[in-house]
Amino acid sequence: MSTKSKMNLVKGIGALLLTGAFAFGLSSSQSTISGDEGLNIGKKMPMSNYEMVGSDDETYTLSELIQENGLIVVFSCNTCPFVVGSSSFDGWEGQYNAIYEEAQANNIGMVLVNSNEAKRDGDDSKEEMAKHKEKQSYNMPYVVDKDSKLADAVGAKTTPHIYFFDGKGKLAFKGSIDNSWDTKREKLETYLLDAIAAVGNGTDIPVTSSTPRGCSIKRTK
């Protein structure tokens, strides 16, 4: 993917990060962990046959969603400013469909997983997920992770938090989509898109782990 294309995917984010209003997105709801915590790179996909009900009432498993070159699992939600954006930040979900298209072009599956069990009776209910998917025109499945079981199995902490498994079901990349959140960055690093391109080209992924940024996954325990 060209630098111009990558920049289009994060259009406007750089300027918004320079505004003081972006502090809303970096409030106490933010959670970060080291890229070395949780499921380690090279480890096998856990709970591959775990059945998750989608916002469309269909049942999905990771083993059914994985394609020839892998599967991208995005822990997401309906409310976090890092996902949905705010008056001062576009939010990363604006990239989801473009990422999905790149993934499909490289024989890689993609699924959005909502593990916010503590908010299941409210903003992150399956009914609200269905409304949100329709509003955002998500092209990929959006599924319920009941009791945050999958999130616990991989060590997911934030929304969004990315886990990219290769065609053999081994973890190839985890962390954040890019470094657009970093106001001190020297350049834009499109970690996930670079990983997709590398897998599609049969080359090594340049960065296999990046620090996730976002709101904490709302578990019940």
Q: 12-43 pLDDT, tens per residue? A: 444 333 333 333 333 333 333 344 479 999 99
Q: What is the pTM of this model?
A: 0.85
Cβ-proximal residues to 15 (8 Å cutoff; 6+ apart), any chain: none
Question: To the nearest whole percent, how much of the chain has pLDDT over 70?
Answer: 83
Mean pLDDT across the stretch 36-65?
A: 95
CATH numeric code, 3-216: 3.40.30.10
Give me the phi and psi of 18, to 5 degrees please.
-85, -10
Identify which of 187, 214, 195 has the alpha carbon closest to the alpha carbon of residue 14: 187
Burial class (CB in 10 A: 0-12, 13-18, 19+), 194: middle
For 182-213, how does the pLDDT look when each residue is reduced to its tens digit (9 = 90+)?
777 789 999 999 999 999 999 999 999 999 99
Q: Is the distance from CB of 18 to CB of 89 less than 8 angstroms?
A: no
Band the pLDDT of 181: cuts 50, 70, 90.
Answer: confident
**Local confidence band at 3 (pLDDT 50, 70, 90 cut-offs):** very low
pLDDT of residue 9: 52
pLDDT (tens digit, 9 = 90+) per residue, 122-150? Answer: 999 999 999 999 999 999 999 999 999 99
Question: Which two tokens mark 124?
Answer: 């992150």
